[in-house]
Amino acid sequence: MNDLSKIFVGLVLLCSILSAGADVKVFVTNQGSNSVTVYSFDGKFELLREVQVGKAPAGVALSTVNREAYISNTESSEISVIDVDSLEVKKTIDLNGSSLGVAVSPDGKRLFVSDWFNNCLLVIQLSSHKRRCIEVGKAPAGISVSEKNDEIYVVSRDSNSVFVVSLSEEKVIGKILVGDHPFGLKLSPVKNHLYVTNVQSNDVSIVDLTEHKEIKRIKVGKKPYCITFSMSGEKSFVTNQYSDSISIINTDLLLLEKTVASASFPEGIDTHGPFIIFVSWLDEEIVAIDERDQSVVSYASTGINPRNFGDFIFVE
């Protein structure tokens, strides 16, 4: 695809994404105020509601099938389930451990939760709340689900690995060594690659999911936390907690392109159209920047110490 074609495709996508009637809601987990703040977003943020949840919420996953947001409350051993329409907690799923990362199956029938203390991936049937525990190494954190590969990827921080779990069979089928203390992860939208942030070695591992092996490790800022991709998938954006910055990786060349300053202690990061949206734990803000020049487009105050570990933008 030549440059002119890319520009045309990008404009078509942008127009469709930002067209009238699109319902976009951004969910922010506020660890310090035990709440989730929800915003509409159409190029600027507007607060819709603050929802009280369990203690120290961190992780978030969304289901368009169920029209629900799943919030991991790290200190109260439970998952809060929020109705995305009424913006009310409709139920709570009790756990026997400490939840962190959370993801939902594409069909909306199962919830996947990383149990930090019990070193397992919890698989919860949403209709009955029956669950099973799959051992996935020490201190599991981020989770990503690939329907295409029929696989679940679970970061094991203290094992310096990503465990590969069969989505259909619910059993471990592989283990991929990455950098030191991996934490966040994200699937590439255009390649069969998984990007993993390594908070101790200050780099990002790029994993080839066809071969189940790391193919590149790229140095970024201090304590990289989460990662997202541009609308085209040609760039990835990494939040560096201790550097107050975002590193931008060229996904074609697999090279660090540049690092730009951000709000203080950036954590969760996600994408909507041409906007890269992230939260600042220290400044207690949610910020939208233009993916092209990284200029700030909009920002809003959040609750206390926002985390947003996971995918947090709901689009109709």
Percentage helix, strand, coil, to 5, in the chain?
Answer: 5, 55, 40
Residue 12, pLDDT above cutoff 50: no
Average of per-residue pLDDT values in the chain: 94
Query: What's the pLDDT at 273?
Result: 96
Instruction: Pick the more confident residue, 87 or 97.
Output: 87
pLDDT of amino acid 22: 66
From residue 268, alpha-carbon distances to 135, 147, 164 in Å are 26, 23, 23
CA distance 181 to 57: 21
pLDDT of residue 316: 86
Tokens 């159209």 -> residue: 273
Please give the model's pTM, rounded to 2 decimal places: 0.93
The amino acid sitting at 231 is M
Would you give the DSSP letter of residue 170? -
Rounded to 5°, angle at Cα 299 from 296 and 301: 155
Count CB-CB contacts under 10 A for residue 307.
26
**Statement: residue 160 has pLDDT above 60:** yes
| Token digits of residue 71 | 């919030």
CB 248 within 8 A of CB 271: no
Mode of pairing for the β-strands spanning 193-198 and 203-208: antiparallel
**Average pLDDT, integer, range 207-215:** 98
Using 50, 70 and 90 to split pLDDT, how confident is the model at 97?
confident
Residue, of 29 and 316, whose pLDDT is higher: 29
The average pLDDT across 32-36 equals 98
Q: Give the whole-angstrom CA distance, residue 315 versus residue 298.
A: 18
- Across 289-310, average pLDDT: 98
pLDDT digits (tens, 9 = 90+) for 105-132: 999 999 999 999 999 999 999 999 999 9
At 253, list the tokens. Answer: 């060349």
CA 223/CA 202 separation, integer angstroms: 6
DSSP string across 235-295: EEEEEEGGGTEEEEEETTTTEEEEEEE-SSSEEEEEEETTEEEEEETTTTEEEEEETTT--
- Cβ of 235: how many Cβ atoms within 10 Å? 19
The residue to which tokens 């193919």 are assigned = 215
Res 1: pLDDT: 43
Torsion 116-103-160-249 (CA) sign: negative
